[in-house]
Structure 1
Amino acid sequence: MPFADLLEEVGGLGRFQLIHITLLSIPGLLMASQNLLNNFTAGIPAHHCTIPNMTSALNLSEVDQSALLRAFIPQDDSQLSQCKRYIQPQWHLSSGNQSHTRNLNYTVMETENCMDGWTYKKTEFISTIVSEWDLVCNLRPLKQMSQTIYMGGVLTGAIIFGGLSDRFGRKMLLTWSYFQLAVLGTFTSFSSSFLAYSTFRFFTGMAVSGVILNTVSLKVEWIPTKTRTLVGSLSSLFFTVGQIVLAGIAYSLKDWRKLHVAVCSPFFIVFLYSWWFSESARWLVLNGRSGEALQELHRVARINGKHEAVEKITLEVLHSHMQKELQSSKTVFTAYDLLRTPVMRRISLCLIAVWFSTSFAYYGLAMDLQKFGVNIYLMQVIFGVVDFPAKLVALVMLTFLGRRLTQDLQVMRTTLAVLGKGFTSASFTCVYLFTGELYPTVIRQTGMGFASTMARIGSMAAPVVLILDELFPALPSVVYGSAAVIAGVTAFLLPETLNVPLPDTIEDVEEKWSKKTCRFQEQLQHEAMVLDTLGQTAEEPEERQSSGLDAL
């Protein structure tokens, strides 16, 4: 596209782009915390029914306390029951000798629900929403519901902020999303009830969508074509480091209220410096604000030290470079345009499958770390560390093999949970970049929001599949893996965008990737080869004749 030439004239990947990308990527250190926060804020501490008059027993040694608990709490598979207690103390069990209990009258061993609440161990967690509002036993589904409500907010944000940013600009919506995330995320820590907590988390999820979608667009729309892959892959490592940062913060605090403040309040700082960002010049031109676009280009040129470009690039030059795009800017685009034309429809339908299954597989692995039976903080670090080699492999494949083949990496997710999570994370890196390159500027954010909506549906569906392990332990993995294989195959139906300039209009997409255009281009190449062959054949007799005369 002609605008790519303007980017090169104002410095290409210069000082401005490096600062711009870094400042946009830094929040990624804490953005990973938002989606995975439930592992720690809603962690389930070891617990059992509260024993009446247990206060006097707190001074006992751990061995004596264990013996006392056996008299009050029945055991399930050699573990203390979490939801039942004996109506009458069974003192004969406190010795640990249960061989003679088989002949006891059933009524003596009668149990009841936890009438006086629960007692929680504070070794792994000091406080979580589970221990705060007793989300155990009959209320245990509310733990998963809190994550589903948050993902519902992320889904809603993808729908709302995607369309709004195409209408009002990337920078404005990004700045607002930072502010919303900082305020509501911090207020979550003051929740006095589960309802208040869930409400704050819903609107925080909306802000997370606004941040992610607009960050991707502001990056790709200011980066030259040849460096998009490198920049997109390396900046995604901030999310990877963020997973390790989350584990460290969660381990040091172990309190859900303090944890929310720690990972949300820094966005006030991000909100303040976000005013430095430059609005997408592409978007400004296509929305009839060419004067502002010119100012942004001049600003970028000055920061990059290309002062001659300030004089060279005028409003007339800008319009001449984007004349075709300006003609289409008078049209109002809606989500319907994502499906209206053949190529856009093929792209959108394929991305639905890819985004859904990528998110489905990723959150199926990453959202319930306690099921692995390993220290939850250590497991979070392991998941973060394994992302590094996976994303480096993705970077190499994105650079040399393209986007479609790289997307099939998620098939490997089925071999091992940790490696699977790492490669699925790498797939996320690819699909964010891929989607931004496939959709044109005039409707890029609407498309990103549409695709991201499918991802959120996948993340909301992922926990439900875990119920299948009651039928067969490996069944959830089979379901996640099957979805990943389908997505990998679907990705091959998408056009390749490696080293291809960003499209600005729907017409660009149709012309560039329609099958008729591809066949026409292949026909032209074939005709050119035929003409070259005929030309060489026609020249051969003359050369031979000339050689004969020389011989004479």
Structure 2
Amino acid sequence: MAFNDVLKSIGGVGCFQILHTILLLVPVAMLSCHNLLQNFTGAVPEHHCKLPSTSDLNHGSRAHFMKLFTSLNQDHKPWRCVQYQKAKDLLSNTTNRPLKGKMMEYCKEGWTYDRSIFSSTIVTEWNLVCDQRPWRQVARSIYMTGVLLGALVFGSLADNLGRMEILTWSYLQMGVAGSCAAFLPTYDGYCAFRFLCGVASSAISVNSISLILEWMPKHGRTLAGNFFGFSYSLGQIVLAVMAYMIRDWRWLQFAVSAPFVIFFIYSWWLPESARWLILRGDPCKALKHLRKVAQINGKQEEGEKLTPEMLCSEMQKDILLIKSSHSVLDLVRTPAMRRMSLCLVLVWFSSNFAYYGLSMDLQDFGLSIFLTQALFGGVEMAAKLMVMLFMTFVGRRVMQFGSLFLAGVMVLSYGFISQEMQMLCTVLAVTGKAFLASAITCMYLYTGELYPTEIRQTGMGFSAMNARLGSAVASALHLTGDFSATILPMIFGITPIIAGFFSCFLLETKDSALADTINEVEDR
């Protein structure tokens, strides 16, 4: 019997698998909170130049004096970044009329912020407004760079050191670094520890899904993989609720970071992947874990029948494959693999590029930022449920193309709609993001079925790296600020449409046997 049969013999999808999956998915939900956290901790409130102290206002109400002190824009609100150049003349003005022909100057005494929604954000903390506004996006880009670096480093480390070793360390790193970022007094320190959070984020994501799937029998993997996506979307709703209840950015940052210390503590009782232990030449330790699992599932007798020799003999083929020498170059060495890898690079990059491009500035949608975040999460969960059904009955390739194409159309339409039609803009953005979430859910399963067994992990790791690159590039594009506010939706809409057409060149894998070697892929 193969390793899948071993898992079935000791209970299949039993109590252990259910509890194990839940304990690994709870951190994933909190992980999505970190990825989208700066929508709230970095929110930009209404602001204007700080007025002189109240004692200097010798005439009129403060509201009326503000009209004299600052010029109003076309929306009849004070300009955010400039004031009259000679404030002393205004203080001595007894006519209560705006002074004509006055020169404007940059806010010298700081800003006054509207604290009706958030009592504090990193923007109000370090005055990241006006000419300092790009630094807000820099903080987000630094976090996403950490996510990219984590995908590059921790993937290979997990294959060599073990999934649980890296996962346990990443929980601790996320908990400590996130909590430190919450209380550091300087912007530089905040960015440095958010970078460490981003590095840990990739390690948690990759190793959680690997452990879930490697302890799950074949018939439960599709459902478990989709629950992984559900937990990420659920985390967005959790974030909206937490941000609504906690309006101070430091305590919100701490609230989404501290639970990882709890995850770190209970992770010591989670077993290492038995499959990985066997492939790495430690069948005795794998047997110990398998017998504990059998006991939890009520199959203790079946567990006692297993031996190290039996485990090694049944996985001899996989052991030989893991010992063979492979590299990323094997993904492009032969014609069929090269075509497939190119298409998947575009699909993974474009999906995450557009997804995070839409997710990073919820204030642009006009509705309450809390409601928008909750809508995104709720609609995504419904979309991912539909993906499971469509992939089963329609097929992977049609689902991949359809979700990418429709997402692109929705995002492009959003870019051409006037921002005054806020409700329509929000509906188009939420629907487009739901289709992108569907595309991402589909491509996880589709990619695993397309790559052959001997190079599947390398292919998945390379794909994940392109996904992180897409999110990092999307974050960098937001640095362009308001200048490209109308251009960005078009960029985020065109890329998934192009990727959707490239996905048509991929093979359909519905009801097909998984390929084990590169030669099998070429023969197809």
TM-score, scaled to structure 1: 0.84
Matched, 1:38 2:50: no
Aligned to 1:68: 65
**Structure 2 residue 440 is the aligned partner of structure 1 residue 432:** no
Cα deviation code 1:363-387 (max 9, x no counterpart): 1111001111222112111112211
Q: Which amino acid aligns with 1:72?
A: F
Contact residue 214 and residue 445 of structure 1 kept, 8 A: no
User: 2:130 matched to 1:133?
Assistant: no
Aligned to 2:270: 277
- Per-residue CA distance 1:423-461 (angstroms, 9 max, x = gap): 212222233344445556776555444222212221122
Q: 1:481 to 1:442 in 2, by over 3 A?
A: same
Q: CA deviation at 1:97?
A: 8.1
Tell me the distance in 2 between the aligned counterparts of 1:76 and 1:133: 25
What CA distance in whole angstroms lies between the structure 2 residues aligned with 1:453 and 1:95? 65
Residue 80 (1) aligns with residue 88 (2)? no
SS of structure 1 residue aligned to 2:40: helix
Deviation readout 1:69-88 (Å, 9 max, x if unpaired): 11111122222111100123
Give the Å deviation of 1:19: 1.0
Deviates more, 1:261-270 or 1:82-91: 82-91
Q: Distance in 2 between matches of 1:411 and 1:206?
A: 31
Shift of 1:256: 1.1
CA contact (8 A) 1:157 1:205 kept: yes
Cα distance per residue 1:108-159 (max 9 Å; x no partner): x211111111111101211111111111111111111111000000000000
Per-residue deviation, 1:95: 10
Residue 417 of structure 1 corresponds to which residue in structure 2? 429
CA distance 1:278–1:70, change in 2 (3 Å):
same
Letter in 1 for 2:430: V
| AA aligned opposite 1:47 | H
Shift, 1:400, TM fit = 2.4
1:341 Cα offset (Å): 5.3
Tell me the residue number matched to 2:488. 476
TM-score when scaled to structure 2?
0.88
Partner of 1:26, secondary structure, is: helix
Return closer, same or farther for 1:96/1:401 CA change in 2, 3 Å cut-off: farther
What's 1:384 paired with? Answer: 377
- Matched residue, 1:228: 221
Conserved 8 A contact 2:452-2:518: no
| Structure 1 contact 383–421 (Cα < 8 Å) conserved | yes
User: Could you tell me which residue of structure 2 aligns to residue 4 of structure 1?
Assistant: 4
Secondary structure class of the residue paired with 1:171? helix
Separation (CA, whole Å) in 2 of partners of 1:290 and 1:417? 50
Contact kept? 2:68, 2:96, Cα under 8 Å: no
1:307 counterpart = 2:300:
yes
Query: SS state of the match for residue 323, structure 2?
Result: coil
Relative to structure 1, the CA distance from residue 29 to residue 468 in structure 2 (aligned partners, 3 Å threshold; closer, same or farther) is closer
| Offset of residue 501 of structure 1 | 7.3
Amino acid at match of 1:303: I
Task: Return the match for 2:258 from 261, 265, 285.
Answer: 265
Q: Which has the larger radius of gyration?
A: 1
- 1:453 and 2:465 equivalent? yes
Change (3 A) 1:95 1:142: farther
The 10-residue stretch of structure 1 (408-417 or 463-472) with the greater mean CA deviation from structure 2: 463-472
Deviates more, 1:35-44 or 1:308-317: 308-317
CA deviations over 1:242-268 (Å, ceiling 9, x no partner): 111111111211111101110000011
Provide the rounded CA distance (Å) in 1 between the counterparts of 2:510 and 2:17.
Answer: 20
Segment of structure 1 superposing worse, 440-449 or 45-54: 440-449
CA contact (8 A) 1:217 1:444 kept: no
Alignment correspondent of 2:418: none
1:346-361 maps to which residues of 2 (within 5 A)? 346-361=339-354
The verdict on how the C-alpha distance between 1:456 and 1:177 changes in structure 2, with shifts beyond 3 A counting, is same
Give unpaired runs (5+ residues) of structure 2: 411-427
CA contact (8 A) 2:72 2:79 kept: yes
**Equivalent residue for 1:199, pick from 162, 182, 192:** 192
Which residue of 485, 499, 503 maps to 1:491?
Answer: 503
**Is 1:117 matched with 2:110?**
yes
Residue 23 of structure 2 corresponds to: 23
What residue is the counterpart of 1:142 in the other structure? 135
Question: What is the alpha-carbon distance in structure 1 between the residues aligned to residue 150 and residue 207 of structure 2?
Answer: 11
Matched, 1:292 2:280: no
CA distance in structure 2 between the partners assigned to 1:511 and 1:281 by the alignment: 28
2:343, 2:158 → 1: CA distance? 23
CA deviations 1:211-253 (Å, max 9, x no partner) are: 0000111112222222222221133222212111111111211
Letter of the 1:427 counterpart: A
The secondary structure found in structure 1 opposite 2:268 is helix
CA contact (8 A) 1:468 1:476 kept: no
Tell me how far apart the structure 1 counterparts of residues 467 and 366 of structure 2 sit (CA, whole Å): 27
> Aligned to 2:48, what secondary structure does the other structure show?
strand
Does residue 190 of the first structure (1) align with residue 183 of the second (2)? yes
Report if the CA contact (8 A) 2:56-2:91 is conserved. no
Moved more, 349-358 or 138-147: 349-358
* Residues 317 and 495 of structure 1, relative CA distance in 2, 3 Å threshold: farther
User: Which residue of structure 1 lines up, in the alignment, with residue 239 of structure 2?
Assistant: 246
Cα contact 1:213–1:445 (8 A) shared by 2: no
Say if 1:435 and 1:222 are closer, same or farther in 2 by CA, change over 3 A.
farther
Contact 2:57 2:91 in 1 (8 A): no
Aligned 8 A contact 1:178 1:267 in 2 = yes
Q: CA shift at 1:299, angstroms?
A: 2.3
Segment of structure 1 superposing worse, 393-402 or 168-177: 393-402
How far the C-alpha of 1:340 sits from its partner, in A, is 4.5
Report SS of the residue matched to 1:48. Answer: strand
- SS of equivalent to 1:85: strand
* Residue 471 to residue 270, structure 1, CA distance change in 2 (3 Å): closer
CA deviation profile, 1:491-531 (whole Å, cap 9, x unmatched): 3434445566777xxxx14255x141x3xxxxxxxxxxxxx
Residue deviations 1:388-440 (CA, integer Å, cap 9, x gap): 22111112112323333322313222322110111212222233344445556
Larger mean Cα displacement after TM superposition, 260-269 or 401-410: 401-410
CA RMSD across the alignment: 2.8
Asked if 1:163 is matched to 2:156, the reply is: yes
- CA gap 1:154/1:442 in 2 versus in 1, 3 angstroms: farther
Unmatched 5+ residue regions in structure 1?
519-552
Matched residue of 2:105: which SS?
strand
Who is 2:146 aligned against? 153
Cα gap change, 1:92 to 1:331, in 2 (>3 Å): same
Q: Secondary structure at the match of 1:490?
A: helix
Matches of 2:392 and 2:3, distance apart in 1: 23
C-alpha spacing 1:164/1:493, structure 2 compared with 1 (3 Å): farther
- One-letter amino acid of the structure 2 residue matched with residue 67 of structure 1: H
Letter in 2 for 1:23: L
Q: How far apart are residue 13 of structure 1 and its match?
A: 1.3
